[in-house]
Structure 1
Amino acid sequence: MQHQGRFNFLVFFIVLLCVSVKASARYKFSHRRRSVQERVNSNGRGDVCADRFDIRLHVEDIIGPNWNIKKQGKSPCRTLVVWVPKKTGFTEFVKVNEHNEVEGGFSIAIFCYALQKLPFNVQPIFKPFVNDTGQMNGTYDELLKHIENRTCEAVAGDVTIRGNRAQYVSFTTPYLSAEVYMLVHATHEWNQTLWTFLRPFTKRLWESLISAYILIGITLAILEYRAKNPKFVGPFYRQLIMVIWFPISAFFFHEATLSSWLTLDQLRPKLPSSFENVGYQGGSFIKDLIIEQYNCSGHNLRSLNSYEDFKNALSDGSVNAVFDELPYIDLFLSKYGSDYMKHGPINQESGIAFAFARGSPLLQIFSEAVINVTESKTMMDMKRSMVSAQCDGDDDNAVVMGGDDW
């Protein structure tokens, strides 16, 4: 009994020691996270390219631990203030939380990858473009004007290259295409009749095709009969049926192309008769484009701020179409695509890119870095990840960034 009591006491002591060590480690990790977060808040920046401690800041884990190694080149900007937009929805590209901290996003990842490929070190300081209430401090045009004549500042986000914007900033090479499409309901078209199969060709062509197939069938039947093929040995009516069946099977059942075209239910976009009552992404240039291109009054155009707003507005009939750029439309369709279709392109845009002040010494070399990133396998992996995240109904952009995988 005495030995048993000593053994129990030893086991209890070991368990207590393990619990103490684990609790101490958890406290140190929590303390380090708080220290990092306090540093981010006090500096007004979110160093999402290098910070390892916050679970949601995982860009370094994507591009590797050596993203910010010492490089030989001399940087014209040792630090780069990077302004980012803050939106309540469409956070796949840039996500800023309620504490005005930049958490990540597709655009931020591309920006950090491009920084890694520069021949010199640049320390990014990410700052949300917000007002005193924590909301976006104006439109995208006002965000771009904010960096005018500021050499070592930039804008990272889903910024579309536009002619009027190029008057006060310079853009890098685009990393995404940005054609404008129309998002509408999909209608089921079924207007087939008994004689629908006759539609593809004219009467004379049908006569020529049928005659040619019957002639070929007769020729094959004669050759097979002379070769004493057992399938062609039998009554005359059976041989006649096989000759007639040949053109039918060749025309309608070979890879099922014509038969499927004629019989399958087909989806068609339900285009609006008027563009006075359509939606667009709030804060973008799309509203001005609709008014200009369709000569609308603009009074009934509706600003929408999320994919759910898109869906609800189209479902309840408050808008009969939504205009937006291709990446957003594709992401919407990946999530709600069964009842909706895209139509277009309505307008060709130059693309989505990063913005620098005119004359910035970083512009040219950063554009080259963006090209290298967009040509890499990583770009395609992130695009697929963003789409799969939408299909899974996951709103957490850590998936897009790869910390938890477009």
Structure 2
Amino acid sequence: MTKQVAILLALMVFLNKISDTEMSKYIPTRPDVVSIGALFYFNSTIGMVAKVAIAAAVDDINSSPKVLNGTKLKISVQDANQDGFLGIIKALRLMENDTMAIIGPEFSVSAHTISQVANELQVPLLSFSATDPTLSSLEFPYFVRTTQSDLCQMSAIADIVDYYEWRDVIAIYVEDDYGRNGVAVLVDKLAEKRCKILYKAPLSPNMSRFDIIHILSKIALMESRVLILHAYADLGLQVFDVAKDFGMLSAGFVWIATDWLSTELDAASVLARRAIDGIQGVLTLRIYTPDSEIKRKLVSRWERLTDRKSASGSVGLNTYGLYAYDTVWLLARAIDELLTQGTHISFSSDSELTQLNGKSLSFNSVRIFNEGNLLLKSIFKVNLTGVTGKLKCNSDGCVVNPAYEVINVIGTGPRKIGYWSNYSGLSVVPPESQYSKPNDSSSSSQQLHGVVWPGQTTVKPRGWVYSNDGNPLRIGIPKPFFKEILYQVEGTVTYSGFCIDVFSAALDLLPYRIPYQMFPSIHGQHYPTGTELLHMVQMGVYDAVVGDFSVTTDRMRMVDFTQPYIESGLVVVAPIRKLNSSTWAFLRPFTPMLWFSFSTLSSSQREKTVTNLSRFVLIVWLFVVLILNSTYTASLSSILTVQQLSSNIKGIESLLASNDPIGYRRGSFSGNYLVNELNIQRSRLVPLNSPEEFERALINGPEKGGVAALVDERVYMELFLSTRCEFSIVGQDFMKMGWAFAFQRDSPLAVDMSTAILMLSENGELQRIRDKWLRQSACITQGGKQELERLPLKSFLGLFFICGSACFLALLVFFVQMVQKFIKHNSNESQSSTLRSGSSVLRSFASFLDEKEMRR
């Protein structure tokens, strides 16, 4: 017996001397207690809510025998503050207690550093509030995000900016990993919407009020009035307080705060009156969690769970509190999955940490969780429906179908104006109702309810103001061609013409004044082409270009165009020859009828002369009536009045089928269009510099070194043809476009000028300007038809001449025949009568006519 006791004592001494590096500590397969840790800042808004939510989740799990099957969950909570280094120390302290996993940390900055510790000790780190999108599983495999990433939040903000048609924003953000990386994602998401951050204003986490004043005073002088605030609650509210004093929460400004503001509003039941006044009209986001029975139960008992009171009242439940509650449940389900598989829970010392032991540092108690990788896999297997909705973790996070509520702060609290989801974008209906429908995130399907903006206005702010820095807008002027379109007033530096009048009228409708200066775009003897001039705008040589720029697809990639202020299109102009189709030509089919009528005069039966003459006159009059009646029909009217025009060129198809040279206006886009789009050889194209060259080239024709036709924009060709009736537009327009003003890419002036042009169109001013400069002449033809509105009297002169001639001829024939008969009759009576006077002869002739009439 004594020997056995001695052996036992020796064995105990031997086991006590074994180092921690040589022996692992084993825990039974289904232990009575498992330890987890929690790491967050106790005094932050999120931390105060999370502390209550995590404790409630642990109590609910331990009170339910079905979750861990008799195993209790033990949690150790550490206050990490906002110090990343202190967070590492607190995390190591949690590892001393054989912790299987850590819930937290709260801040993204701490998550970056503590994730390094988690990787080393193979302890899963589940954060319910670290939203930095760069916290990826590739760099930190043991980091698991159980909330939404700022990648989704910045996508929602970009969609909001695009929805309200703003293009430039200013980003105000906290200068740390959370702020920098969030804004970096925002830059990318805005770029996808053709928007950009005009200015970035970083804020130190501990910035003084004086420093904030300095930054906001600089921002107040900038053009953009759309400000995105991505910060922590304390710093963000301080920014709003300074902005209110600066008048930056008045009408015209737009403030969009990330979800820190809604988190603060939900947690603080009553904010200070000054704080509420300082955020009126602000837009913010709140992570969307669908309504459910389990969520309603937690909300209903929240007041009882809250054991910490603040001076302003109890702590309200915000979204991050809901995610903290679900995170504990997610971890409990994963631990249960691990234990159910019969896995032995064990910890071992880290040999590298042991070597760091010194007199003042001791890492012997910090252990590696040997089954940490298995627990991580179990976490990814959990499919949980909690108070926040469906949680299914993967490498990108645990949130399925991320969504946000869009909040408008008005009165004493938030007002929901819509939703955003990564499935359908902006909508006024809850996201879950969209998932069963086809995905439609097009701009036309995006919807939000009305907003009360800063300054208590419901009118959508323009989002920018013109910066009155004393520098006028630099406007380039293209090469003048027709005076009616654009020309420089002789002896001055000013310009006039159709384009200038439209531009000036649109400027007058803007709600702000813009000083500008126009510059001729000539360099030496060279005028740049339209494309070259637009490149100059793109490179910043000019702020805008005013002229006859046609809006085409390839040009839209370089600059922004306004709303077109005149419709145009490419047409073909060619020489024409006239085919007279007057009344005389129309009468040719009736010539046999007329000759037949005249032939009746040669009848040998003298007694029928009168009858024949009457018939002839009647036929002529019937013919006249027929013609007059026919003129009321459209077809006959055209035959009677229109001068038929004919050309060998019938339109663009004729030019494509031939090899004849084609003229075009030098510098216009029509030359490149003919080559690139219609595959016409460039050798066939002849650039021309003036209307006079147009005319000479058409008159000479291909035989004398000219061109067969011109191809240019309708507006130019109508001005050219207004005084040149020997040419005509043939065929139809074969390309439609409009004239617009060009501005630098993403210039907000282009949007305001487009609105002004639409107003000019609606009030009739645009048409008045067009009539002033571009009034058309009767020579302008299309398809060989003159634009005549009525038939003049002279069109019937030939008809009236025929009718009068027929009547006169019949009367003359009748008179000659009567004279012949009278002479014959008088010669018979002269033998028995004496010579009579002239008056008596006339009386005798009249009596003779009466006698003939009586006999009839």
TM-score by length of 1: 0.59
Using the alignment, how far apart are the partners of 1:148 and 1:263 within structure 2? 53
SS of equivalent residue, structure 2 residue 743: strand
**Counterpart residue type for residue 87 of structure 1:** K
For 1:93, the aligned partner's letter is I
Which residue of structure 1 lines up, in the alignment, with residue 514 of structure 2?
A: 122
Q: What is residue 107 of structure 1 aligned with on the other side?
A: 499
Structure 2 residue corresponding to 1:299, chosen from 655, 665, 683: 683
Q: Deviations 1:202-259 (Å, cap 9, x if unpaired)?
A: xxxxxxxxxxxxxxxxxxxxxxxxxxxxxxxxx9999999998897556422262526
Cα distance in 2, alignment partners of residues 157 and 116 from structure 1: 18
One-letter amino acid matched to 1:324: D
> Secondary structure at the residue paired with 1:348?
strand
User: Retained in 1: the 8 A contact 2:485–2:773?
Assistant: no
Pick the structure with more strand per residue.
2
Deviation at 1:355, TM superposition (A): 1.0
Pairing of 1:4-403 with structure 2 (within 5 A): 75-78=465-468, 81-87=473-479, 89-96=481-488, 101-131=493-523, 133=524, 135-136=526-527, 138-148=528-538, 150=540, 153-189=543-579, 248=623, 251-254=626-629, 256=631, 258=636, 261=639, 265-271=643-649, 274=658, 276-317=660-701, 318-336=706-724, 338-387=725-774
Mapped to 2, the partners of 1:80 and 1:326 lie a distance apart of 34
Whole-angstrom distance in 1 between the partners of 2:483 and 2:582: 44
Query: Any conservation in 1 of the 2:473–2:514 contact (CA below 8 Å)?
Result: no
Aligned to 2:166: none
CA gap of 1:358–1:303, structure 2 versus 1, over 3 A, is same
User: Secondary structure of the equivalent of 1:168?
Assistant: coil
Asked if 1 retains the 8 angstrom alpha-carbon contact of 2:560 and 2:745, the reply is: yes
> What is the deviation of 1:315?
1.1
Gaps of 5+ in 2: 1-461, 590-609, 779-856
Write the letter of the residue equivalent to 1:121. Answer: R
Q: Are the equivalent residues in 2 in contact too, given 1:101–1:128 (CA < 8 A)?
A: no
Task: Tell me by how many angstroms 1:291 deviates.
Answer: 2.4
Q: Distance in 2 between matches of 1:370 and 1:259?
A: 41
Note the C-alpha offset of 1:100.
9.3
What is the alpha-carbon distance in structure 2 between the residues aligned to residue 197 and residue 306 of structure 1?
Answer: 44
Tell me how far apart the structure 2 counterparts of residues 251 and 349 of structure 1 sit (CA, whole Å): 44
AA matched with 2:537? I
Q: Deviations over 1:40-86 (max 9, x none)?
A: xxxxxxxxxxxxxxxxxxxxxxxxxxxxxxxxx97334355243334
- Which stretch of the first structure deviates more once superposed, 377-386 or 301-310? 377-386
Q: CA, structure 1 residues 261+389, in 2 after alignment: closer, same or farther (shift >3 Å)?
A: closer
TM-score (norm 2): 0.30
How many Å separate the matches in 1 of 2:483 and 2:675?
A: 26
**In 1, Cα distance between equivalents of 2:700 and 2:614:** 61
The question of whether the paired residues in 2 share the 8 Å contact of 1:86 and 1:95 is answered with no
* 1:2-42 alpha-carbon deviations (Å, 9 max, x no partner): xxxxxxxxxxxxxxxxxxxxxxxxxxxxxxxxxxxxxxxxx
CA contact (8 A) 1:162 1:349 kept: no
Cα RMSD for the two superposed structures: 3.8
Taking structure 1 as reference, are residues 144 and 359 closer, same or farther at Cα in structure 2, changes over 3 Å only?
same
Q: 1:171 to 1:321 in 2, by over 3 A?
A: same
Farther off after superposition, 80-89 or 118-127:
80-89
Q: How many residues align?
A: 281
1:110/1:88 CA distance change after superposition, 3 Å? closer
Name the CA shift for 1:373/1:129 in 2 (closer, same or farther; >3 Å): same
Please identify, of 284-293 and 350-359, the stretch whose mean Cα deviation from structure 2 is larger: 284-293
Identity percentage of aligned residues: 26
After superposition, the Cα gap between the structure-2 partners of 1:238 and 1:344, relative to the gap in structure 1 and judged at 3 Å, is same
Partner amino acid, structure 1, of 2:516? P
